[in-house]
Every structure is written in C-alpha cells, then in structure tokens.
Chain A
Amino acid sequence: MSKLLSRRGFLLVLGGASLLLSSCRKEVPATATPAASQPVRGGTLVVASIADMDSVNELLSANSRAADDVLYRVFSHLLDEQPDFTDHPPTFKPELAERWEWSPDHLTLTFHLRKDALWSDGVPITAEDVRFTWPAQTSPEIAWDTFYMKEHIRDVEVVDAHTVRFHFTRLGPSMLVEANEGLILPKHVWGQVPFAKWRESGDFFRDHLVVSGPFKLERWTPQQEIVLARNERYWNPELPYVDKVVVRIIPDVQNRVTQLLAGSIDLLEQVPMADLPRIEAAPHLELTSFWHRTYQFVAWNARNPLFATKELRRALTLAIDRQGLVDALWGKWARVADSPIVQNVWAHNDALVPWPYDPAEARRLLAEQGFKDTDGDGILDRDGRKFSFELITNQGNSARMNAVVMIQEQLKKVGIEVQPRILEFNALNEAMTERKYDAVLSAWGMPTTLDLRYAYHSDSIDDGDNHTFYKNPEVDRIIEEIERLPDITEAKALLDRAQLLIHEDQPLTFLWESQRINGLNRRVENAQSNLFSTLWHLHEWWLQPSP
C-alpha cells in the first residue's frame, strides 16, 4: 500500500510505537458483548485479508499489515500498549515484562520479565532474548525499517535471566515506547543465522518458527491462508478462547464482500462505501467502526510561487468546501480535519476552529496577493502567469480521485485552474520524495509518538518527508523542545501551540479524517478492532456456539 498510509503508519499505530493514539473506543458503536454472556472456548474464526504476509520475521516484513496483524498474535512485546489515548497518553499493561522501573535520572529503564513465559518449543523466554533482539533491530545489514525508534538506546544489558536494563543516551518523551517497539525474537533459534544472511533467510525463519504469543502459526500456505492455532505453552492457559483463526487471503474486494455476505468469512476490514447498505441489511452481519489516525490533505509545494505565502495557501483552503467533500464522499463516516494530530487523540488542540468554506474571503486574499483576471478568461493571473497548477493523486483510491475532481470544480469558482492527474502509487511517491509536483492529494498516518518532525520540521526538507518545504522557526523550536521532555504529557501546551501555527500557515490543506469500517458476523463476540490492529487482542475474541 501506500507509502503514506501503510506501514509506518500502521507500525506506529499498531506496533506500539506509539504513545498516543487516537481512539476508537469511545466512538465505536456499542457492539461489544453484553456483560451477561460469558466467553465460550472453541470454534474457528475466519478472517479475510487483502494481502498475504511477507515474512514471519518482523524485521524483514515491509509494508505488510497482514504480517503485523498475524505476527502480533504469535509474538509478544515487553508491554501491551492500550488504546486509551483519548484523554491521556496510552497506558501500558504487562506482557512479557510483569513490571518496569526508571532510574532516578530517568536514563535507565529496568524490565522484570515474567518467569513462566516459554517459547513454543518449551525453552524459557529470558533477558537474553530481549538483549539479542536489540542489535538485530539496529543492524545495518538487516536494515529494519523502524530502526530509528532505537536510536537513543545506548545498550541493552542482561542483569539476570529475568531482568533486563535499557540504557538511553538522552531524555525524550517516548522512551518507554521506544524500548517497547518491536517483537521479542527467539535468540536460541534465529540467533543461528548471522545478520548479514537475514535478508535472504525468509524460508529459514518460516521453517524454524518458535513463538511466544497466545497463538502459534499452524500453517502458512502462501497466497491462500494463514492458520493460527492455540499455543498450548502460552503463559495464560485460559487464552485464547477460539481454537483456530484462519486468515483467508482474498485480494479482490468484491469477492471479499460476497464471502462475508455468504457467511464464509466472519470479518472483513475496510468495507467499501458502496457495499455498506448490503452489509447493514444482512441480519447475520453488523458494521463496526473506529476513527483511524490518518488524515487526508492537499499539500502545496511552497517552492512554487503560487503557494509561497501562507495567505495564498489559506485562500486555497477557504476556497475548498471540505464539509461538502466529506458529505459527498463519506457521509457520517468522516469529518473535516484541522490538524496533524487527529481529533480523538488527547493531544489534539480542541480550540482550533477549522477554516470555513468562504470563497468570497478567498477571492479577497487572492486579490490582495496580486492575482487578478487581467485577460478576462476566468482564470486569475499575476505578472503574466496564470493561477493554474497540476493536482496529483494516486490511482485505486476512489475517494481521492473524486475529491480531486470536486476540488477542481470548487477552485474554478474563485478563478483557479486545476489540472488533475492520477498517477500510479509508486510514481506519486516518487513525485513527493523528489519534491517534483505542484500540489498533491494524499494522506499521512499520524505517528503515534505525536512527533511532528517528519513533515513539519525544516530539517525534514532534506532529511525526511517535509516535501512542502515548510519552514517556521517557532514550529522547529517547539518540535525540538518536545523531543527533550522526559514525558509526553508535559508536551500538551507545546503541541497546542504547534498545531495553531500549522493551522495558520496551512502548509497543507487538511481535508478529512475518516473511520475504518469493518463488516463482522454477529457470531463473533468481543471483537476489538482498533487502530492498533484489526485483530487487536484476538486471544480475547470468542465465538457464539452455533445453535
């Protein structure tokens, strides 16, 4: 999937890279089980996946949500990040580590591992595994795509078999998240392969798979299905409730919908808008949803004189009927975005008032910036140059393609000419990384660490994803200041200020945030899809016995 929408986004979100995150919980329609019914053990849950997983080794898996969804069920983190980020940063519950503590200077973090945790081959999970995982994560030969989360970890020290200590080089707001990022890997098995060989050893890792999570990988038939079964050695013998989970790989979206309707699959993620009524009408199905942490935008290349000042960019925002886009494309399933921090995350600046749809004000601002229609052709111009540009987006995303056409219509009303162009995904990516575009409609997945550096710090113009050439010294300063805080909670006032500045500067026009909509068979109880994962806490899901 997309550079913008996929993995990092997901990993951060999913992975626990996050500190923050937005929640679904409070907004999810009450689909959870009535408290009266008790979980039942047994049964096989069938889930549809768009794509196959690419590797059983998290460090080799790129770009694969499917892999994350599965691997997070069969391996464990030290801690279990909770999706309770609506009112405060997310909290953590014990997983492989039963408790943790900070040194007085807050530069050393000690984890105490549970003593009853075993790998699926019976070997105890120890501090050695935790220690082994760290050099693998940071190895240049393996080149894990999330290695930068470990940049500020100086050492991982084995204190004793069940005590491990992380040493940091500096204070930062996301230290616990950084330590917890990444699944703990089995040293006694995977340690047999030198790091230099990892990128060609996919088959070895698959054939020598020992796991630590509630499920084990019973079978993986490439391009067909992934079968998870109860891991009898999981430290909590009560879980999981279901015997098996079959992930059926079905790339075609209409086929997935048909099979959900026919009852051959229980869960379908990301139901297309056009199919919602059919699913809503089926008595055995229900829709569940949660707000995702991606936000769609139009990015303006500030090196282009048409977008060089914040007044011009604001005029463009005022001339786009964003509520109209949301109503036409999403209905109740989306809302107008106003910030790089999505609205159901604790750190969102609720005092922001989104720019209204105000073409008159847009025209006034444009005139103030020297744009007039001097030749009477209906298009504004300045110094002999027309206000005309190319707006690009990627193919295969109908909401974006429709939005581009609607924006073309709306901007025409204030005298701006838009030439829409649809590119293949990789081509769009290249246009952005090379910074060769006028305007682009795309999306970012908000990093769950709430770090705004990726697209809003001026250093990221050369070394990062700031492809709009956005530069505001105060925003730079705030980002740097937050990076030195030992606790993200203290960053609220700074984050509010940064969001306000970005809102005023409009390096991008924030378009919408939307919900992820899943179709679910009503026989599934306690399904907890959220923006961490479609299969979050799968071991706690259960199936109603068939009548």
Chain B
Amino acid sequence: MSTTSDSSPARRAGLAEHLLGRLGSALLLLWMVVTVTFLLIHLAPGDPLSVLSPERFSPEHRERLARSLGLDRSLGEQYLVWLGNFLRGDWGTSFSLSRPVLSVITEALPATILLAFAATVIEYAVAIPVGVAAARRRGRWADRLLRFCGLALYSTPVFWLALMAILVFAYWWPLFPASHRASVGAEDLGWGARLLDQLHHLALPALVLGVASAGGTARFVRNRMIEVLAEDYIRLARAKGLSERRVVWRHGFRNALVPLVQLLGLSLPMLLNGTLVVEVVFSWPGLGQRIYQGILARDYPLILGTTVFSGALVILGNLLADFAHAAVDPRVRRG
C-alpha cells in the first residue's frame, strides 16, 4: 500500500463512493431492523398495559393508561409517530421508567462499553498467544490440549461460566467481588482507591466474557497461522536464517492479522449477546440489563430505542471491519 496511490483524487473518489454506498445500505438495514422489531413486539403476546397495571383487569383503567401512553392509536399511526419523533431526535419516553429513552441509554452505555472493551482486550490477549502457540505445535499434545480447551470454552454457556466464576473466585476463594461496579460505601474513598475498587469489580465479569470468547478466537488464530506458516515467504524467511520468533511474529502473525481485524468487527453482535448475560449475572449496570427488562415489561419505546442503538453498533462494527479491511488490503476497494 503506497501512500501516494491512496491519496490520488480518483482513488479518494472511489473510496468515498464505496463508503457512501456502504453507509446507505447500513441505514436501510437499520430501518428494516427497527420496523421488524416494531412489528414483532406488537405481535408478541402481552402488552405494556397489563404489565403496568398487573392485577385487576379493568377496561376503564386500561383505557386511561392506553390514552396516557399513546397506545389507543392504530398500529400504523403509532409507528409513524414513533418514526417521525425519532427522526427529529426524540427517542420517546420509557413506559416503565417514565424517563426519556435516550437518557436511559446514555446512562447505561458507559458500563457496557467498558465491559465490552475490557473483555475484548482479555479475549485477544489470551487468544493470540494461545492460537499462535497451538499453530507452531500443530498436531502435538499441546495443540490438542489447547484445541480441546478452546472448544470446551466455546461450547460453555456464558451464564454457567459466570456462575462458576462467582462461586470459585468470589466465594470459595474470595479474590473478587461477585457483583456491581463498586463496593458498598465506595463513594467515601479517595479517587485512587475508588479507581482500584472499580477495576477490582470489573475484573471478574470482563475475565468471564473475555475468556469465554477467547476459545473461538484462539481456534481462528491457530487455523489462520497454520495457513500462513505454510506460505512460501515463511519458508524463505526461515531459509534466510531468521530466528523462529521473528519468522512467526514478524512475517507470520502480521499476515494473519488482516482477517483478525475483520473478526473483531464481526464479533460485535456476539459480544453484545455476551454482555447481556454477564450484565444480568454480575449486576453490571449496562445496556444488556435494560434491554432484558424492557422486553419483560413490554416497554415499546425502550425496546425500540435499545434496538436502534445496538443495531447501529453492530452495523457500525461491520462497517469498521470493512473499512479496516479496505485499509489494510487495497484490493477490496478496487474490486
């Protein structure tokens, strides 16, 4: 990739066109996701009215509540009103929390991002060395053991892993707190102690989520490395007498990195899935818990808002993967 060719006007126009096209289809996709979600939540049995006034089915009260929440309008009207407001930046008011949806989301978001980020760092910090090591020892017992562990992790439900981690590391061997972002009374600590306290709380959920995802990623790295290590240029590097370490990491791993960048973007949906479960088990105050509660409460505005949001995140992840790929591999945008 030469910098000169990338900055030529024609190339840049091509890239811009490519980006715009991708962005356009991303928005279309998002609209479809929202519309389908809208239909699905209205098709699902139960409605917010019966959740909000649980006992005592009284038509009069349902009517009052429906009017106050705008649910007395036809489905089409509700959809258009919601979409119109949304396009104007009004995400609506949560039925169950009586608060603007947007403030519920922005309040929960930092916790989810922090958890997902920490988990991703752990995931790759574990998966890359393990995957590379397995590839170098291909077929030997260490490789088989690592592959077995990877598969086991990959097939373990995250909630089970989370519960086991709590039992082992928060109860039998109490290294970490079992839940929450901070200890009881942490607000009275100095900022340094508070930061440590928060990291202490982050450790277990991030480890669980990171290690759970590392299984699959390590296998991916291993397989990719095996392909790369069989390439001619690796044999050439070895023939030149370079150290094995240099061959593997400099020449091998850097080439295996390209699809890994893509995997990072594409794994976002899985990561969001994982945070949902981990957040509930560890009482982590993120978006996952809000989505879960929103669904149980049939809180339409909250469900739609969080759907748009996580949908946008996933699509953004895909776009980034795409662009990252384009950035490291110019053939993509030429093609």
Residues of A that sit less than 8 Å from B by CB: 1-4, 6-9, 44, 46, 51, 54-55, 57, 60, 62-63, 140-143, 145, 147-148, 198-203, 219, 221-225, 246, 248-252, 254-255, 258-259, 261-262, 264, 423-427, 429-431, 433, 444-445, 454, 463-465
From A142, A225, A249, A429, B68 is in contact (CB under 8 Å) with: A142
Cβ-defined contact, B285 with A222, below 8 A: yes
Instruction: Supply 21 A–B pairs (Cβ within 8 Å), ascending by A.
Output: A2-B54, A4-B54, A9-B55, A44-B185, A140-B64, A143-B68, A199-B69, A200-B93, A221-B285, A223-B108, A249-B283, A252-B282, A255-B166, A255-B178, A258-B166, A259-B178, A262-B174, A264-B177, A426-B44, A430-B50, A463-B58
Sort A-B residue pairs by CB-CB distance and give the 6 closest, nearest first.
A426-B46, A8-B55, A202-B98, A223-B285, A427-B45, A145-B53
In the bound complex, residues from chain A placing their C-beta under 8 Å from that of B108 are 222-223
Q: Mark B150-168, 1 if CB is under 8 A from A, else 0.
A: 0000000000000100110
**Residues of B contacting A142 in the complex (Cβ-Cβ under 8 angstroms):** 68
Find out whether the CB atom of A259 lies under 8 angstroms from the CB atom of B55. no
Q: Which residues of B contact A261 (CB under 8 A)?
A: 171
Compute how far the CA of A433 lies from the CA of B51 in the bound complex, rounded to whole angstroms: 12
Picked from A200, A219, A249, A258, the residue with its CB within 8 Å of the CB of B170 is A258
Chain B residue numbers with a CB within 8 Å of A430 are 45-47, 50
**In the complex, are the beta carbons of A262 and B55 less than 8 A apart?**
no
Name 6 extra pairs, CB < 8 A, besides A254-B163, A255-B166. Answer: A8-B56, A143-B68, A145-B61, A222-B107, A262-B174, A424-B46
- A224 touching B58 in the complex, CB below 8 Å, given contacts A199-B93, A258-B167, A424-B45: no
B61-84 CB mask vs A (1 if < 8 Å, else 0) is 100110111000000000000000
**Contact of A147 (CB < 8 Å), options: B61, B163, B174:** B61
Residue of B50, B69, B181 with most chain A CB atoms under a 10 A cut-off: B50
Within 8 A of A (CB), among B172-231: 174, 177-182, 184-185, 187
| Contact between B54 and A63, CB atoms less than 8 A apart | yes
Whether the Cβ atoms of B97 and A202 lie closer than 8 Å is yes
| Cβ–Cβ contact A62 & B285, under 8 A | no
- Choose among B46, B281, B293 the residue that contacts A255 (Cβ–Cβ < 8 A): B281
Q: Which of A63, A148, A199 makes the CB contact (< 8 A) with B61?
A: A148
B55 touches A445 (CB 8 A): yes
B289 within 8 A of A: yes
Tell me whether A262 and B53 are in contact (CB under 8 A): no
* Contact between chains at A433 and B55 (CB < 8 Å): no
Among A51, A249, A431, chain B packs the most CB atoms within 10 A around the CB of A249
Q: A57, B50: Cβ atoms under 8 Å?
A: no
Once A8-B56, A255-B283, A426-B298 are accepted as A-B contacts, the answer to whether A140 and B171 lie under 8 Å apart by CB is no
Give the most central of A1, A57, A254: most B CB within 10 Å.
A254
In the complex the two chains form, is A454's CB within 8 Å of B166's CB?
no
B187 touches A224 (CB 8 A): no
In Å, the complex CA distance between A202 and B184 comes to 25
Say yes or no: A63 contacts B98, CB within 8 Å.
no
- Docked complex Cα distance between A222 and B283 (Å): 11
Complex contacts, A57 vs chain B, CB 8 Å = 98
Chain A CB within 8 A of B52 CB:
yes
Contacts of A201 in B (CB 8 A): 98
Give every chain A residue within 8 A of B174 (Cβ-Cβ): 262
A218 to B151, CA, bound (A): 48
Cβ-closest chain B residue relative to A434: B45
Q: Is B313 an interface residue (CB 8 A)?
A: no
A251 and B58 contact, CB distance less than 8 A: no
Check if B59 is an interface residue, CB within 8 A of chain A: yes
**In whole angstroms, what is the CA distance A254 to B94 when docked?**
29
Q: B57 near A433 (CB under 8 angstroms)? A: yes
Whether the Cβ atoms of A264 and B285 lie closer than 8 Å is: no
Chain A residues in 8 Å Cβ range of B298: 426
Is the C-beta of B116 less than 8 angstroms from some C-beta in chain A? no
B92 to A, closest residue via Cβ? A200
A202-B299 Cα distance, complex, nearest whole Å? 15
Question: How far does the Cβ of A492 sit from chain B's closest Cβ, in whole Å?
Answer: 25
Q: Is the CB of A63 within 8 A of B297?
A: yes
Expressed in whole angstroms, the minimum distance between the Cβ of B167 and any Cβ of chain A is 7
With CB as the reference atom, state the residue of chain A lying closest to B96.
A54
Q: Is B280 an interface residue (CB 8 A)?
A: yes
Which of A4, A141, A198, A202 has the largest count of B CB atoms less than 10 A from its CB?
A202
Residue from B44, B56, B96, B182 in contact with A148 in the complex, judged by beta carbons closer than 8 Å: B56
Shortest beta-carbon distance, B280 to chain A, in Å?
A: 5
A248 interface neighbour in B61, B98, B184, B297, Cβ under 8 Å: B184
Determine whether B103 belongs to the interface, using a CB cutoff of 8 Å to chain A. yes
Residue B99 interfacial (CB < 8 Å): yes
Closest to B167 in A: A258
Cα of A510 to Cα of B96 in the assembled complex, Å: 33
Asked whether B100 is an interface residue with its Cβ less than 8 Å from the other chain, the reply is yes
A258→B178 contact, CB < 8 A = yes
Once the chains are docked, how many angstroms separate the CA of A224 from the CA of B108?
11
Q: Among A55, A224, A454, point to the contact of B283 (Cβ < 8 A).
A: A224
In angstroms, Cα B58 to Cα A259, docked, is 41
Structural contact, B100 and A203, CB atoms closer than 8 A:
yes
Q: In the bound complex, what is the Cα–Cα distance between A368 and B280 (angstroms)? A: 54
* Nearest chain A residue, comparing its CB with the CB of B177: A264
Q: How far is the CB of A33 from chain B (nearest CB, A)?
A: 24
Query: In the complex, are the beta carbons of B55 and A6 less than 8 A apart?
Result: yes
For A148, what are the chain B residues with a Cβ–Cβ distance below 8 Å? 56, 58, 61
B55: nearest chain-A partner, CB-CB: A8
Query: B64 contacts A62, CB within 8 Å?
Result: no
Q: Which of A55, A246, A255, A424 has the most CB of B within 10 A?
A: A255
Q: Which of B59, B187, B283, B286 contacts A219 (CB 8 A)?
A: B187
CB of B150, distance to nearest CB on chain A (Å): 26
Flag if A200 contacts B100 (CB, 8 Å): yes
B53 near A62 with CB under 8 A, answer yes
Are B285 and A55 closer than 8 Å at their CB atoms? no
Shortest beta-carbon distance, B20 to chain A, in Å? Answer: 37
Q: A54-B97, A140-B67, A262-B170 in contact; A223/B283 too (CB < 8 A)?
A: yes
List, in ascending order, chain B residues with CB within 8 A of A255's CB: 163, 166, 178-179, 281-283
A340 shortest CB reach to chain B, Å: 14
For the complex, give the distance between the alpha carbons of A411 and B120 in Å: 54
Determine the distance from Cα of A203 to Cα of B98 in the docked complex, in whole angstroms.
Answer: 8
CA A51 to CA B293, docked complex, whole Å: 9
Chain A residues with Cβ below 8 Å from B286 are 223
Nearest A residue to B66 by beta-carbon distance?
A143
A residues near B103, Cβ cutoff 8 Å: 203
Q: Which residue of A lies closest to B68 (CB)?
A: A143
Q: Chain B residue with minimal CB distance to A261?
A: B171
Chain B: minimal CB distance from A217 (Å): 14
Q: Given A430-B46, A463-B58, check contact A251 B289 (CB 8 Å).
A: yes
A374 to B280, CA, bound (A): 54
Q: Tell whether, in the assembled complex, residue B184 and residue A4 are in contact, meaning their CB atoms are under 8 Å apart.
A: no
CA distance A158 to B283 in the complex (A): 46
B218, chain A: closest CB distance, angstroms: 28
Name the A residues within 8 Å of B100 (CB-CB): 200, 203
- Cross-chain contact B51 with A63 (CB below 8 angstroms): yes
Q: Is the CB of A143 within 8 A of B283?
A: no
B179 contact from A51, A54, A250, Cβ within 8 A = A250
Instruction: Say yes or no: A464 contacts B56, CB within 8 Å.
Output: yes
A9 and B107 alpha carbons, distance in the complex (Å): 32
Alpha-carbon distance A425/B181, docked complex (angstroms): 30
A7–B45 contact, CB under 8 A?
no
CB atoms of A44 and B184 under 8 A apart: yes
Q: What is the CA–CA distance of A143 and B45 in the complex, to the nearest angstrom?
A: 23
